[in-house]
């Protein structure tokens, strides 16, 4: 049986239009703060790739945007975070003295974002900000300051626009709620 055979798409939570509009607003805020300067966007693989790509392309051209990636695991093939964060791939860029925005697809418990903020802060960036597409405040286990937030959503399992379950559904242009069969 397919690993995702026990889940199915239920309904669209956020349309591609709503996502695009919110990304334009986030990009305008970031451009206003960092226009004319270098800014390193560090995307958390694999879920943040689509969000970060659209965000960077929406920035004002005065922002000298660089991109790097980091990969951690806290879900595996589960539908909820395990709470244990494991580094899989580190960044290639030295961020000491640089302005950095850590880009994540979703903040569920906050454990992954907290781990990454601590890890990157120890590397001495000039500034370190966080930008997440989705936040689930009902699942939050740690206080984690978000500088830029796309949407606050209820505690539902979601896929699409880069978010997946066992590698499936990342390609959907909308964000869907998923339910057990």
Per-residue pLDDT tens over the stretch 85-127: 889 999 999 999 999 999 999 998 888 899 999 999 999 999 9
Domain count along the chain: 1
| DSSP strand pairing (148-152 vs 127-135) | parallel
> Is the preceding peptide bond at 4 cis, omega within 30 degrees of 0?
no
Q: What pLDDT is recorded for position 100?
A: 98
Q: Name the residue among 65, 110, 78 with its Cα closest to residue 54.
A: 65
Average pLDDT of the segment spanning 129-155: 91
- Catalytic choice (108, 155, 164, 174): 108
> Does residue 161 fall inside a structural domain?
no
Rounded CA separation 65/27 (Å)? 11
Residue 79 has pLDDT above 60, yes or no: no
> Does residue 98 fall inside a structural domain?
yes
> Does residue 57 fall inside a structural domain?
yes
SS3 breakdown of the chain: % helix, strand, coil, rounded to 5? Answer: 25, 35, 40
Residue 73 has pLDDT above 90, yes or no: no
Q: Name the residue among 95, 92, 97, 106 with its Cα closest to residue 152.
A: 106
Residue 4 has pLDDT above 70, yes or no: no
> Does residue 139 fall inside a structural domain?
yes
Q: Which domain holds residue 60?
A: 16-154
Residue 157 has pLDDT above 90, yes or no: yes
- What CATH number does the domain containing 117 carry? 3.40.50.2020
Q: Name the residue among 54, 44, 49 with its Cα closest to residue 81.
A: 44
What confidence tens digit (pLDDT) does each residue in 45-70 have?
Answer: 999 999 999 999 999 999 999 999 99
> Does residue 125 fall inside a structural domain?
yes
- The residue ranges of DSSP E strands in 23-77, in sequence order, are 38-45, 64-73
> Does residue 93 fall inside a structural domain?
yes
Q: What pLDDT is recorded for position 5?
A: 72
Residue 1 has pLDDT above 50, yes or no: no
Q: What pLDDT is recorded for position 82?
A: 54
Contact 38, 66 (CB under 8 A): yes
Q: Name the residue among 171, 173, 51, 181 with its Cα closest to residue 107.
A: 51
Rounded CA separation 22/5 (Å)? 32
Residue 2 has pLDDT above 50, yes or no: no
Read off the tokens for 123.
């590397």
Residue 108 appears among annotated catalytic residues: yes
Average pLDDT of the segment spanning 165-174: 95
Q: What is the share, in percent, of the chain residues with pLDDT greater than 90? A: 78
> Does residue 171 fall inside a structural domain?
no
> Which residues lie below 8 Å from residue 108, measured CB to CB, with a gap of 6+?
80, 81, 136, 139, 140
What confidence tens digit (pLDDT) does each residue in 7-18 have?
Answer: 999 999 999 999
What confidence tens digit (pLDDT) does each residue in 20-46 have?
Answer: 999 999 999 999 999 889 999 999 999
> Does residue 10 fall inside a structural domain?
no
> Which residues lie below 8 Å from residue 28, measured CB to CB, with a gap of 6+?
60
């Amino acid at each position: 049986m397919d690993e995702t055979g026990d889940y199915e798409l239920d309904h669209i939570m956020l349309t591609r239009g709503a996502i695009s509009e919110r990304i334009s607003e986030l990009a305008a805020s970031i451009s206003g703060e960092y226009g004319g300067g270098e800014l390193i966007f560090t995307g958390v693989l694999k879920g943040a790739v689509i969000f970060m790509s659209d965000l960077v392309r929406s920035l004002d051209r005065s922002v000298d945007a660089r991109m790097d990636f980091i990969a951690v695991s806290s879900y595996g093939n589960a539908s909820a975070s395990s709470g244990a964060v494991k580094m899989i791939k580190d960044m290639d860029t030295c961020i000491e003295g640089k302005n950095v925005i850590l880009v994540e697809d979703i903040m569920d418990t906050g454990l992954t974002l907290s781990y990454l903020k601590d890890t990157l802060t120890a590397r001495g960036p000039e500034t370190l900000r966080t930008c997440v597409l989705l936040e689930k405040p009902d699942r939050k286990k740690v206080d984690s300051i978000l500088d830029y937030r796309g949407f606050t959503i209820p505690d539902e399992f979601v896929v699409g626009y880069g978010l997946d379950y066992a590698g499936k559904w990342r390609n959907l242009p909308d964000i869907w709620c998923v339910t057990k069969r």
